[in-house]
Amino acid sequence: MRVLIQPNMHDCADNPAAHWRMVVDGHGVPIDLDGVRNSIVDPGTLTGPTVASVTWGPTVMSGEAREAGMIVKKNGTRQAFFDRKLLAPYLALYRQRRVELGTD
């Protein structure tokens, strides 16, 4: 599974559902993730105001294939994460949003 979470670059001040854009395996939707806080490291890490993007997917690390995530901050710093459970509430909202939009 490949996941991309990033702030929506369009003007969406009056539409919280469009504050973020989430793409899972090539299917993207605007989504309200502002209320999700589920990070062991720092509550709000995946959707905090300093986040530029979050990715998850297959990667090769030290010659070994595995799934991993990367949080990229607006200041350019990166933080890897390896627990897919951190994505669970985001994926649940993504599925719910797709049903609401009639795209699932």
**Span 72-90, pLDDT tens digits:** 998 999 999 999 988 988 9
Q: What is the pTM of this model?
A: 0.82
Q: What is the mean pLDDT of residues 34-39?
A: 62
Which band of pLDDT confidence, cut at 50, 70 and 90, is reported for residue 17?
A: low
CA 59 vs CA 1, 16, 101: distances in Å: 11, 32, 31
The parent domain of residue 36 ranges over 3-101
Q: What are residue 17's phi and psi, to 5 degrees? A: -65, -15
The torsion region of residue 17 among left (phi > 0), alpha (psi -120 to 50) and beta comes to alpha
Number of domains in the chain: 1
CA 26 vs CA 36, 61, 80: distances in Å: 22, 23, 22
